[in-house]
Amino acid sequence: MGGKGLSLLSGGLDSQLAVRVLERAGAEVEGVCFATPFFASDAARKAAQALGIKLHIIDFTDDEIALVENPPHGFGGAMNPCIDCHAAMIRRAGELMEKLGYDFVATGEVMGQRPMSQNKQSLGIVEKSSGLKGRLVRPLCAKLLEPTIPETEGKINRDMLLDISGRSRSRQMQLAEEFGITEYPSPAGGCKLTEEGFGRKLRDLMEHEGLGDRRLVELLLIGRRFRLPGGSGVLLGRDQAENAILKEASALGTLISPVNCPGPTALVPSLKSEDDLCLARALVCSYSRCDRLEGDVTVRVNGAVAPVPRPYDRAAFKGFQIC
């Protein structure tokens, strides 16, 4: 009788292939994906629908933040704690597996595909730290690894599993054709933590305000960010939609917006000094469309309205911008 398991589904090609290969090997498979502000789950939802499988969505934000603050195996190229993140995802999927009484957790990992996180050593670390020893199946490269419990119990036909290794994508492309999989995002994209610019913003927030408030973490996805000399951070909306988001988040800090001309809304989560407040007001004015305005820009700071004397020099703030 076939086994039943949960396969990590990002929506990328390898994760979709893993599902199809397991099904071909006699197993019944459901998908698991993880929700955080750092990566969207849309591709996983779409893939689950195309594959015709049930999808479990696990809120992973607190897990990811804890790993960003303290990654036992360090970061990849940016602020991406991939080895620990992957192990934690598998651990969370394993908890669900136990709860549902299923036999295994699977991933679409391929030996040697990513030099840092998918070499033999890291695959071993991930298995060990996930606590799933013997129940973690990697159908795309299973034949290069020791047989897992569901394989030895005959719940997955090991003969139907694969031995893909290396960075070439040719076998995956062949399999995609064989299984009729046509829609999948690029393998590298998707996770903001792998982007250097986003990593700088995240590190800045971590060092100054901390990552304890999930709403501040979510706001990393929008706006221009500045760190003023006194230590205050400023988040500046880039369009009306971002301005509206910042206004909704006004409870998180000091809100500044122009009154007599169009311009950005700014949120200062923890204002450190009067000097910083003056700079933040001038920053808002420097990004405002005040060319046709006679006189000074008037700004509202948490309800109180006052003019900010000209001139406004946007270039003077470049050195404070985090990008």
Token reading at 185: 């995002």
Q: What gap in Å lies between CA 92 and CA 10, rounded to an integer?
A: 15
- Choices 186-194, 208-216, 260-268, 315-323; region in contact with ligand SF4 by CB under 6 A: 186-194
Whichever of 83 and 277 has its CB closer to ligand SF4, that residue is 83
Q: How far is the CB of 80 from ligand SF4 (least distance, A)?
A: 4
- Cβ atoms of 187 and 19 within 8 Å: the answer is no
Of 193-252, binders to ligand SF4 (CB under 6 A) are: 193-194
CA distances from 279 to 193, 250, 274 (A): 30, 19, 9
Q: How far is the CB of 310 from ligand SF4 (least distance, A)?
A: 45
Residue 86 as a binder of ligand SF4 (CB under 6 A): the answer is: yes
Q: Kindly write down the DSSP assignment for every residue of 50-118, as one continuous string.
A: HHT--EEEEE-HHHHHHHHH--TT--SSSS--HHHHHHHHHHHHHHHHHHHT-SEEE----BTSSTTTS
Best CA proximity match to 20, nearest among 171, 168, 181: 181
Whichever of 23 and 127 has its CB closer to ligand SF4, that residue is 127
- Choices 149-157, 178-186, 187-195, 311-319; region in contact with ligand SF4 by CB under 6 A: 187-195
- Choices 92-100, 167-175, 189-197, 248-256; region in contact with ligand SF4 by CB under 6 A: 189-197
- Cβ atoms of 90 and 98 within 8 Å: the answer is no
Q: How far is the CB of 113 from ligand SF4 (least distance, A)?
A: 13
Residue 85 as a binder of ligand SF4 (CB under 6 A): the answer is: yes
- Choices 134-142, 146-154, 191-199, 224-232; region in contact with ligand SF4 by CB under 6 A: 191-199
Residue 75 as a binder of ligand SF4 (CB under 6 A): the answer is: no
Binding test (CB under 6 A) with ligand SF4, winner from 13, 22, 191, 217? 191
Q: What gap in Å lies between CA 218 and CA 143, rounded to an integer?
A: 41
Whichever of 118 and 243 has its CB closer to ligand SF4, that residue is 118
Q: Kindly write down the DSSP assignment for every residue of 296-322, as one continuous string.
A: PEEEEETTEEEEEPSP--GGGGGGGEE
Q: How far is the CB of 5 from ligand SF4 (least distance, A)?
A: 20
Token reading at 59: 């809120």
- Choices 76-84, 148-156, 166-174, 211-219; region in contact with ligand SF4 by CB under 6 A: 76-84
Provide the Cα torsion 50, 15, 96, 141; round to 10°: 140
Binding site for ligand SF4 (CB under 6 A): 39, 80-82, 85-86, 191, 193-194
